[in-house]
Amino acid sequence: MSACICYWYLISIIIFVKIYKDAMKTITHQPFLEEVVGYLNRSHRPNTALVIVPNQLSMEYCGFVCHKAKWQAGCTTLHQLMRSHSKLTLLSTWALLRRLYASVGPISQEPFEQFARWGRILLEDFNAIDSYLIDGVALFESLYKQRTREARCHQGPLDAFKKVRSLPLWKEKESMGFWEQLPLLYASFREGLIREGKGYEGLCYSMAQPLPEIRNQALVFVGFNRLMPVEAEFIKQCQAMASTAFFWDTDPHYLDNLVNIAGHYLRQHREKKWFQSGFSPATYFNDPGKKVFLTEVPTSVAQVQAVVAALAEKTDEGKPRFLPSQTAIVVSGSDLLIPLFDQLADRSIPLHCRVSYPFHATVIYCIVERLVQLWESFVAGQEAIYTHMAAVWVLWDPFAAETAQGAAMRPPLDGRMLRSLFDPWLHQEGLLAYLQAGLTYMYGHFIETDRLFWVVNKTALRHLLSYIEGLIAEMADCSIAFFLHGLKSSNMPFHIDHPATGLYIIDVAESYNLDFENVFFLGMNEGCFPKRTHQDSFLPYDLCYSFGLPLADKVAEQQTAYGFYRLLQRAQNIYGYYVQKNHLDAAGEISRLWTQLTFDSQLNIITAHHSLQLLDRPIAPIVIQKSDAVMQLLNRFLAASSRLTPAALIAYLSCPLQFYFRYVLQLKQKAKGDSEMVQLGTLFHDVMARLYQPFVDMQVDTSRVMQLKGQVHSKIEEAMAASHTPIGAPLLLRALLEKLVTAMLDLDGAEAPFTLLGVEVAMQQSMALDGERKVWLGGVVDRIDRRHHVIRMIDYKTGLSNGKVGPIASLFDPTKIQKNKAIFQLFFYAWLFHSLHGADLHQSIMPYLIHIRELFLKDYTPGIFQSDHGTHYHRIEDMQAYLQPFETGLKALLLELFNPVLPFVQTADLTICAYCPYVRICQRD
Ligand code: SF4
C-alpha cells in the first residue's frame, strides 16, 4: 500500500470513528436497539435475519445501529412486510373515494364533492373495521337496528350525524334508507375491490398471509406496543411458519404497575405464551443519576426558544452541552412544529425528523390561495388579475432560483410582462390544469438549498403537486371551495434524513425504539400532551365498544403514555416545558403524564421558571421597503374596486407592518382575542339590521319600536342560523343578545320618532393625493337616521371603547389610535357622508357612538364628547367644525402611506403585538 493510500485510509478511519463517536445516541445506558443487535450477534443469528420494527423512523434508527454494529440484517416495517405479503394493492384515497361514490351515489344522490366530505369518514370506518377483524356486515346491521329504534323513540335520525358536521342533512326516509343499505354497501364495496386486486389499508392487511418463502427467513420483531388484531394475526401466522424472535422495549417500572397506562398493551402481550420470552427484567427507569427538570414558561413559543437556547450552550471546555446526535425534541401533535422549525431555521444544526407538518402554515399555501384568486379574477375577466399576479410574484420571489431560467421569474413588474409569465398557465383547461402548470414551473425553478425554511416550502410544493395529481387522476376538474377545503386541513409528510448525526424531532407517539441521552419534552400541558383527538365516525361509542373497536382518544392516550415513559427509560437529562396560565394562552395545567411521573417514580424532579428575558436570540426588525412590487400591490387602492376602510387606516396607524400584512399582502389570519365577544358584536349588528331594514326611508315612532321588540327573538334565531362561523356558546349568546338588543330598542323608543335613512350603509369616495393619483376610501356605517333635523351617524359598539376626543390631530397620533379607534371610525364616516352629500345638506351631522353595554347605566348618554379646555366635556352635536381639520389629517396620512420612500415598519408598542395575528411572524410573542 503506498504512503498516500495509507494516509487516506488513516484519515477515513479517523473520520469514521469521529462520526460514530459523536453519533452515540446514549452514553450512560446502551440504546435498546443496540442491545437487541448485540444479543442477536452474540447468539449467532444469521446475518440474513429480517428485523421488523413498528415504523419508518424506527427503521432509520435501526439501519444506523445495524450499520454501526456491522450487522448485515435487513430491516423493514411491519406494514411494509404485510403489504408485500398481501394479495391486494393499496389504492390512493381519491381512487377509493371514486369507487365508493360509484356504489353510494344512487343512495345519496349528491355530487361527488359533497359526497367526498363524508365519504372519507365512511372509508375510515371501513378501514378500522377490517383492521380490527370485525364482522362489518353484522356491525352495520346493528347500527341500522339502533337507528330504527331511535327513530321509533322519536329521536331524530339526524342525531346520529351530530358528530359529523360535514354530513348532508338528509330527510328521515332517505337517511333511514342509507342506514339500511350500509351492510350491503360495505360488503359489495369490499368484494368489488378484492375482485380487482385492490384495497384500502385495513383490507390489504386483512388479506395478508405470509408467503411460503418466509420459511427461509429468521424474523425478529422489535419494539412493538399496540398491535391491531390484523397485525397480531399476521405475526401469529409468521410464527407458525418461520423462525421468530420478539423483543419488547419496556421497563418493569410501568409494565408491572397495573394502573400505569403506558404498559397497557404490553401487559396484554405478556399474557401470550409466544411473546413472553421477549420481555427483559432489566430496569433503568429510576436510575438515581438521571436529572429531570420541569420548567414553567410564559408562552408556547418561549419553550421552543428555551430549548433552542439550551442547544447552543457550551461546557467549560467549549464543547456543546447537548450534542445534536444524542438529543431529541419531543412533541405531541404538530402544533409546536411551526415555532420549532421557525426557531431552528437559522441554526446550522443537522436534523433528523419524519413528522406531519400543517400545510396551511407554509408560504406555499399562501401562494396557492393567491393563484386561486388569480384564476377566479381571470375567469371573471376582472382588473384585479394584475394585483393577484403581483402578489404571487412577491410571495414566490424568495424561492426563485438565481439561474438564467430563474431570472425569468423576475421580470419588470409591468402588466405586459406579468401577463406573459402567467398566460401559459391561465390558458390551461380548468383550475387543476392551470395550477399544475404554474406550480410545476415553480418546482422546476425552486432554489437549491438545504436551509430549513426552503426545505419545508419545497416539501409543501411537492405535497401540493401530488395532491393536484391525485385529484386530476380521478376527476377532470373541481370547484375552488372543494380544492381549498381539502388542502387547508391537510398535513404534509416532512422528512429530513440525518439519522446518525442529526438532532431528532419526534412525535412522542411515533418514538418507538429510539433512545437518547438528552430529551426535551415540549408542550407538557394537559390537553396538549397527549394531544386531544377527535375522529369523526358513523359508528357510535356503544357499538364500537360492544364490537371491540377502540376509541381514538383512548388509543392516543395509551400510545402517548408509552412513548413518554419509554423515552424516559435510558435518557439521563430530561427537560419538560409547560406553559403557565396567562391572558393570551389559557392552557396552564401540567400534563397528567408528568403529574403521574412525580408520584409513581423515584426521580428527583427539579422545577424551574423560565422568563422571556433569558432568551439570547436577537430578533431582527422587519422593514418592508416600498419596492415596485409592493407599490403595485398598494396601488390597488387607487382603483374604485378597492377602498381603504377606517379599519385599514387604523391598522396602519397602529402598526404599518400589520397594515402591510393584512391589506397589502392580504394574509388572512384569525384575529386574536375573545371569539365569543367578536361573535356577539357581529350578531348584534346583524339582528339590528334585520329589525330595521324594512323601515328604511320611513318614520319610526315609539309604537313601531314596541312592535320590533316582539320580533327580537325570531331575528336572533335568523341571525344565528345565517352565521358563517359555528356558534361557541349558543345559549349564553342568545340570552346576552336578547338583553342587549332590547336595551338598544328601549333607547330608540325613548328617542323616537326618527326617520330611518339607512342601515349598513356602504359609502365610497375618492381623495386626490396629488395631480395624478387619487385614493379610494370607503366603509359601511351601522345606521343613519334623522332626528329633529340632525343626521345621526350611528355606530354600535358592543365592546369597550372611548367616546372622549382631544384635539382632532390626536386622531392621527399612532400612540393614541388604540384609544381613539371608535372616534376615528365615526369621524371618517361623517367626513365620507359630508363629502358625498354636503352640497345638498342643510342639516347638522352628528357622530352618534352607542356603547351598548353602557345602556344599562343610569346616566348614560350616547355620542362623542370633547373637552371644553377643562374637565367638562360637551357632546359634539354637529361635525361641521371638525371636518376640515379631519380631512387635513387624513390627507397627510394618505400621503405618508403612499410615499414610496417610507417603508412599512413595526410598531414600538408591544401591547398592540399582543393581539396581533401576525405576532408569530414578528416573533414578538
Ligand atoms: S406583531 Fe407587532 S410589529 Fe408585528 S405586525 Fe403585529 S403589531 Fe406589527
Could you write out the DSSP letters of every residue in 254-276? Answer: HHS-TT-GGGHHHHHHHTSHHHH
Whole-number pLDDT of residue 179: 85
**Residue at grid coordinates 414566490:** 396
CA of 898 to the centre of ligand 1 (A): 20
Whole-number pLDDT of residue 18: 47
CA of 655 to the centre of ligand 1 (A): 6
- Looking from the CA of residue 654, the nearest atom of ligand 1 is 7
Helices 880-897 & 646-654, crossing angle to 10 degrees? 60
DSSP-assigned letters across all residues of 153-217: TT--GGGGGTT-TTS----HHHHHHHHHHHHHHHHHHHHHHHHHTEE-HHHHHHTB---GGGGGS
CA of 59 to the centre of ligand 1 (A): 43
- Looking from the CA of residue 917, the nearest atom of ligand 1 is 6
Helices 592-600 & 552-570, crossing angle to 10 degrees? 50
**Residue at grid coordinates 388572512:** 668
User: What is the mean pLDDT of the segment spanning 395-399?
Assistant: 86
Give, for ligand 1, the residue of 667, 818, 909, 924 to mutate: max count of ligand atoms closer than 8 Å to Cβ: 924
Longest dimension (CA), the chain: 110
Query: Is residue 568 over pLDDT 60?
Result: yes
**Residue at grid coordinates 386483512:** 206
User: What is the mean pLDDT of the segment spanning 432-458?
Assistant: 93
- Mean pLDDT score of the chain, rounded to an integer? 86
- Looking from the CA of residue 907, the nearest atom of ligand 1 is 3
**Residue at grid coordinates 403537486:** 465
Residue 728 DSSP SS3 = coil
For residue 362, count CB atoms less than 10 angstroms from its CB and return exposed for 0-12, middle for 13-18, buried for 19 or more: buried
> Grid coordinates representing 849?
357612538
CA of 656 to the centre of ligand 1 (A): 8
CA of 779 to the centre of ligand 1 (A): 24
Question: Pseudo-torsion of CA 794, 800, 806, 811, nearest 10°?
Answer: -80
> Grid coordinates representing 623?
422593514
- Looking from the CA of residue 658, the nearest atom of ligand 1 is 5
CA of 15 to the centre of ligand 1 (A): 47
Closest CA relative to residue 311, chosen from 610, 726, 617: 617
Rounded Cα–Cα distance for residues 182 and 119 (Å): 12
Closest CA relative to residue 518, chosen from 339, 325, 286, 317: 325
Give, for ligand 1, the residue of 623, 922, 925 to mutate: max count of ligand atoms closer than 8 Å to Cβ: 922
> Grid coordinates representing 415?
402588466
561 backbone dihedrals φ, ψ, rounded to 5°: -60, -45
CA of 386 to the centre of ligand 1 (A): 28
Alpha helix positions (H), 805-879: 817-837
Question: Pseudo-torsion of CA 219, 225, 228, 229, nearest 10°?
Answer: 60
Rounded Cα–Cα distance for residues 465 and 458 (Å): 11
Rounded Cα–Cα distance for residues 586 and 566 (Å): 29
What is the DSSP code (8-state) at residue 29? S
**Using an 8 Å Cβ cutoff, are 760 and 691 in contact?**
no
Give the tens place of pLDDT for each residue, 103-124: 886 666 788 888 888 899 999 9
| Structure confidence at residue 418 as a pLDDT band (50, 70, 90) | confident
- Looking from the CA of residue 906, the nearest atom of ligand 1 is 3
- Looking from the CA of residue 655, the nearest atom of ligand 1 is 8
- Which H/E stretch holds residue 297? strand 291-297
Q: Whose CA is nearest to atom 5 of ligand 1?
A: 658
CA of 648 to the centre of ligand 1 (A): 14
Rounded Cα–Cα distance for residues 332 and 563 (Å): 10
Q: Whose CA is nearest to atom 4 of ligand 1?
A: 922
CA of 633 to the centre of ligand 1 (A): 20
> Grid coordinates representing 638?
387607487
- Looking from the CA of residue 656, the nearest atom of ligand 1 is 8
| Structure confidence at residue 295 as a pLDDT band (50, 70, 90) | very high
| Structure confidence at residue 7 as a pLDDT band (50, 70, 90) | very low
Rounded Cα–Cα distance for residues 213 and 350 (Å): 40
- Looking from the CA of residue 661, the nearest atom of ligand 1 is 5
> Grid coordinates representing 920?
408569530
Q: Whose CA is nearest to atom 1 of ligand 1?
A: 919
- Which H/E stretch holds residue 605? strand 605-609
The pLDDT > 90 percentage for the chain reads 56
- Looking from the CA of residue 912, the nearest atom of ligand 1 is 7
CA dist 205 → 54, 84, 85, 145 (Å): 15, 10, 9, 29
Helix, strand, coil shares, percent, the chain, to 5? 55, 15, 30
The pLDDT > 70 percentage for the chain reads 88
CA of 285 to the centre of ligand 1 (A): 46
Q: Whose CA is nearest to atom 2 of ligand 1?
A: 913
Give the tens place of pLDDT for each residue, 718-743: 888 777 666 666 777 888 899 999 99
Give, for ligand 1, the residue of 669, 904, 906, 911 to mutate: max count of ligand atoms closer than 8 Å to Cβ: 906
User: What is the mean pLDDT of the segment spanning 510-534?
Assistant: 91
Q: Whose CA is nearest to atom 3 of ligand 1?
A: 906
Whole-number pLDDT of residue 10: 43
CA of 899 to the centre of ligand 1 (A): 21
What is the DSSP code (8-state) at residue 53? E
Give, for ligand 1, the residue of 664, 916, 925 to mutate: max count of ligand atoms closer than 8 Å to Cβ: 916
DSSP-assigned letters across all residues of 738-770: HHHHHHHHHHHHHH--EEEEEEEEEEEEEEE-S
Closest CA relative to residue 746, chosen from 850, 822, 844: 850
CA of 310 to the centre of ligand 1 (A): 27
2: left (phi over 0), alpha (psi -120 to 50) or beta: beta
Rounded Cα–Cα distance for residues 354 and 510 (Å): 9
Closest CA relative to residue 329, chosen from 512, 496, 57, 519: 519
Rounded Cα–Cα distance for residues 255 and 853 (Å): 58
> How are beta strands 774-787 and 804-805 bridged, if at all?
unpaired
CA of 559 to the centre of ligand 1 (A): 39
- Looking from the CA of residue 660, the nearest atom of ligand 1 is 5
Residues with CB under 6 A from ligand 1: 655, 657-658, 661, 906-907, 912-913, 916, 918-919, 922, 924
CA of 86 to the centre of ligand 1 (A): 55
- Looking from the CA of residue 925, the nearest atom of ligand 1 is 1
CA of 583 to the centre of ligand 1 (A): 18
Query: Is residue 174 over pLDDT 90?
Result: no
Q: Whose CA is nearest to atom 7 of ligand 1?
A: 913
Whole-number pLDDT of residue 46: 61
Query: Is residue 154 over pLDDT 80?
Result: no
CA of 624 to the centre of ligand 1 (A): 13
Whole-number pLDDT of residue 153: 63
For residue 15, count CB atoms less than 10 angstroms from its CB and return exposed for 0-12, middle for 13-18, buried for 19 or more: exposed
User: What is the mean pLDDT of the segment spanning 266-284?
Assistant: 90
DSSP-assigned letters across all residues of 325-390: GGEEEEESSSTTHHHHHHHHTTS---EEEEEEEEGGGSHHHHHHHHHHHHHHHHHHT-TTHHHHHH
CA of 724 to the centre of ligand 1 (A): 28
CA of 193 to the centre of ligand 1 (A): 54
**Using an 8 Å Cβ cutoff, are 291 and 573 in contact?**
yes
Rounded Cα–Cα distance for residues 723 and 192 (Å): 42
- Looking from the CA of residue 922, the nearest atom of ligand 1 is 4
Closest CA relative to residue 520, chosen from 260, 357, 295, 318: 295
CA of 683 to the centre of ligand 1 (A): 28
Rounded Cα–Cα distance for residues 656 and 907 (Å): 7
- Looking from the CA of residue 913, the nearest atom of ligand 1 is 2
- Looking from the CA of residue 910, the nearest atom of ligand 1 is 2
Rounded Cα–Cα distance for residues 722 and 687 (Å): 11
Give the tens place of pLDDT for each residue, 59-103: 999 888 888 777 777 899 999 999 999 999 999 999 999 999 998
> Grid coordinates representing 41?
450477534
CA of 623 to the centre of ligand 1 (A): 11
Query: Is residue 183 over pLDDT 90?
Result: yes
**Using an 8 Å Cβ cutoff, are 578 and 523 in contact?**
yes
> Grid coordinates representing 218?
429468521
Give, for ligand 1, the residue of 907, 909, 910 to mutate: max count of ligand atoms closer than 8 Å to Cβ: 907
Give the tens place of pLDDT for each residue, 664-681: 988 876 554 446 777 889
**Using an 8 Å Cβ cutoff, are 744 and 688 in contact?**
yes
506 backbone dihedrals φ, ψ, rounded to 5°: -135, 150
Query: Is residue 248 over pLDDT 60?
Result: yes
Strand partners, 75: 51
Whole-number pLDDT of residue 297: 87
Give, for ligand 1, the residue of 918, 920, 923 to mutate: max count of ligand atoms closer than 8 Å to Cβ: 918
Give the tens place of pLDDT for each residue, 762-798: 999 999 988 889 999 999 999 999 998 899 999 999 8
Give, for ligand 1, the residue of 657, 672, 904, 909 to mutate: max count of ligand atoms closer than 8 Å to Cβ: 657
Whole-number pLDDT of residue 8: 45
CA dist 471 → 166, 362, 527 (Å): 20, 21, 35
CA of 660 to the centre of ligand 1 (A): 10
